[in-house]
């Protein structure tokens, strides 16, 4: 054991330091967790930096990788003009901030006080007292109406600033895009600086050999850290892990400047990536064309582990059917993953009256989110709430056995460009759980499910066609489960295979300048 420990210690010391960046709290992001764990197991010194959901920094270990969640203050989430008074656009509006709410509350308090005084005068039977209160009561009523008008103008102004649909707003957006080009995100969405200001100094202090930036918001953070290191005489390599095709996503933020700002941000910093990895061949081609990449990105699928550690295997896996309160013979469809409108979860609820006896389980990170509350309310309206179950996430290494007791794995996503081009995480998790699939007719997943025979495809957002697909699968589920017996199908869809690809990217990116390259070969020879 002592010899093995020294060898493993030598491997970790010899391969170099990798700092991984992600713009979330790590928990719930199986891809970055697996990347960090597998890279550390392969001998890299790995620190994964994420965003803390609280004001406190948090840290823990994933295998031999260190995780640090950083507090990210967000004072720049509002654009500069949102802090100014709009004297010309809305002269009656209060200045931005809490003043409007304060004035409304102050008027309510004043009128309440005068009403109490009027009651007391009545109890004393004081006509003079009642008469004396008449002027302030009339004034308070008039002032309340005036404050209400100004508060209404303030609210309307705030909404217009969010909508950004006026000719002036459209002109200023176009002006910054035209005059600043890809640098225009600095005006359109300055909140992107908040990430930089929280992560930048930490990255610099870690002095990495390679930065692995997950997704577009971390791309700029990693690129600037690379530039700062270069200015100090250190050669730091940057690997960009593009999870999705940014122009094709449904914007996460409703502000009309948000999406164009993110696209400009990604374009500006894509040139600094020494290597690019992504989630599908189709997306790799699209990224190469969009950003003029010198070589096509490597594909690293977000597939599950084929094997987990003995410690993880010893942890009890929750029983999905027990959590739902149903027996083994009750038909159960499951959706596992991010809960968002464009994911199409509503169709699973809307179909329930036409699928008597079929239960639905949503395995989601936030069980009490607004969408989950809306779907629960809808299930109650339809009289099927007793068959709808919202159950918690489990660690990524437990997802496959957790889901395996269901009868169908559902992927009901809508037609968005980004949904058409990849096999998403839950596709692989359902597959390793050997679940028959019911998948909407998005291009890549629909074609794969049809080719392999592992599921049925339905027309996205079409309830009746979804009901048809579920009934077909439930009529002969073993037909679809047998598809997983095809030689090599599941073996190709494992994280172990993907980790080898990622490790090769690291080695190739660092090249001859990789720290301790010769020592690695020696240690591997001993091992």
- From residue 81, alpha-carbon distances to 187, 189, 263 in Å are 10, 12, 22
Q: HSE, CB side, 13 Å, CA atoms: give it for residue 289.
A: 7
Instruction: State the Cα–Cα distance between residues 222 and 200, nearest whole angstrom.
Output: 8
Q: Is 15-76+189-299 CATH 3.40.640.10?
A: no
Q: By C-alpha distance, which of 326, 337, 363, 362 is closest to 347? A: 362
Sign of the C-alpha dihedral computed for residues 58, 59, 60 and 66 taken in this order: positive
Is the fold of 15-76+189-299 the same as that of 310-492? yes
Quick one: pLDDT at residue 42?
Answer: 95
Rounding to the nearest 10 degrees, give the CA dihedral for residues 397, 402, 408, 410.
-50
CA distances (Å), 2 to each of 6, 46, 61, in order?
Answer: 6, 23, 22
Strands (E) in 152-242, as ranges, are 210-214, 237-242
Q: What is the DSSP letter of 174?
A: H
Candidates 19, 58, 53; CA nearest to 36 is: 19
Asked if 278 and 266 touch (Cβ cutoff 8 Å), the reply is no
Q: Measured between alpha carbons, how far is 525 from 519 in angstroms, rounded to an integer?
A: 10
Q: Give percent above pLDDT 70 in the chain.
A: 93
User: Residue 36 has what pLDDT?
Assistant: 97
DSSP H or E run through 392:
strand 388-392
List the chain residues with pLDDT less than 70: 1-14, 77-84, 88, 512-527
- The span from the CA of 348 to the CA of 466, in Å, is 8
Task: Give the per-residue pLDDT at 93.
Answer: 86
- CB under 8 Å to 481, separation ≥6 — which residues? 434, 435, 436
127 φ/ψ angles, rounded to the nearest 5 degrees: -65, -35
Looking at every residue in the chain, the average pLDDT score rounds to 89
Write out pLDDT tens, residues 490-513.
Answer: 888 999 999 999 999 999 999 865
**Distances in whole angstroms, Cα of residue 494 to Cα of each of 8, 133, 432, 482, 507:** 24, 79, 9, 19, 21
Q: Which two tokens stand for residue 68?
A: 């640090």
Can you tell me the distance from the alpha carbon of 354 to that of 463, in angstroms, rounded to the nearest whole number?
9
Per-residue confidence (pLDDT) for residue 98, from 0 to 100: 85
Q: Which two tokens stand for residue 527?
A: 């091992």
- Phi, psi at 45, each rounded to 5°: -90, 105
Phi and psi for 421 in degrees, rounded to 5? -110, 0
Domain spans of the chain, in order of start: 15-76+189-299, 80-185, 310-492
Q: 310-492: what CATH class? A: alpha beta
Does the pTM surpass 0.85? The reply is no
């Amino acid at each position: 054991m002592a010899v093995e420990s020294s060898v493993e210690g030598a491997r970790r010391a010899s391969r170099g330091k990798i700092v991984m960046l992600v713009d979330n709290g790590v928990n719930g992001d199986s891809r970055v967790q697996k990347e960090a764990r597998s890279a550390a197991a392969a001998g890299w010194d790995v620190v994964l930096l994420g965003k803390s959901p609280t004001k406190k920094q948090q840290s823990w270990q994933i295998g031999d990788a260190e995780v640090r969640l950083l507090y990210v203050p967000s004072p720049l989430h509002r654009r500069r003009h949102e802090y100014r008074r709009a004297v010309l656009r809305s002269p009656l509006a209060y200045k931005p901030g809490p003043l409007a709410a304060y004035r409304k509350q102050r008027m309510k308090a004043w009128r309440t006080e005068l009403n109490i005084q009027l009651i007391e005068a009545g109890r004393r039977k004081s006509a003079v007292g009642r008469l004396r209160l008449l002027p302030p009561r009339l004034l308070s009523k008039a002032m309340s109406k005036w404050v209400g008008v100004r508060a209404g103008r303030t609210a309307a102004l705030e909404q217009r600033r969010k909508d950004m649909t006026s000719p002036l707003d459209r002109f200023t957006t176009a002006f910054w895009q035209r005059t600043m080009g890809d640098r225009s995100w600095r005006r359109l969405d300055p909140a992107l600086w908040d990430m930089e200001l929280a992560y930048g100094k930490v990255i610099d202090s870690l002095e990495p050999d390679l930065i692995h930036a997950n997704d577009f918001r971390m791309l700029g953070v990693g690129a600037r850290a690379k530039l700062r290191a270069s200015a100090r005489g250190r050669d730091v390599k940057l690997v960009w892990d593009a999870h999705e095709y940014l122009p094709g996503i449904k914007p996460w933020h409703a502000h009309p400047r948000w999406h164009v700002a993110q696209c400009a941000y990604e374009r500006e910093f894509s040139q600094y990536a020494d290597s690019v990895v992504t989630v599908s061949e189709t997306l790799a081609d699209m990224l190469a064309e969009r950003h003029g990449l010198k070589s096509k990105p490597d594909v690293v699928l977000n597939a599950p582990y084929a094997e987990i550690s003995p410690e993880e295997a010893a942890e009890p896996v929750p029983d999905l059917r027990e959590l739902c309160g149903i027996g083994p013979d009750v038909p159960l469809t499951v959706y596992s993953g991010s809960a968002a409108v464009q994911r199409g979860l509503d169709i699973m609820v809307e179909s329930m009256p036409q699928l008597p006896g079929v239960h639905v389980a949503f395995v989601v990170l936030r069980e009490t989110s607004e969408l989950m509350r809306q779907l629960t309310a809808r299930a109650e309206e339809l009289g099927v709430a007793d068959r709808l179950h919202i159950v918690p996430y489990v660690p990524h290494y437990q997802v496959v056995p957790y889901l395996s007791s269901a009868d169908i794995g559902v992927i009901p996503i809508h037609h968005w460009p980004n949904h058409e081009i990849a096999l998403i995480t839950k596709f692989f998790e359902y597959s390793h759980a050997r679940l028959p699939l019911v998948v909407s007719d998005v291009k890549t997943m629909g074609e794969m499910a049809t080719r392999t025979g592992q599921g049925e495809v339905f027309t996205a957002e079409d309830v009746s066609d979804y009901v048809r697909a579920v009934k077909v699968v439930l009529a002969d589920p073993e037909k679809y489960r047998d598809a997983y017996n095809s030689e090599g199908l599941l073996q190709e869809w494992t994280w172990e295979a993907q980790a080898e690809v990622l490790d090769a990217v690291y080695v190739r990116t660092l090249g001859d300048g990789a720290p301790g390259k010769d020592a690695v070969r020696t240690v591997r020879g001993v091992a």
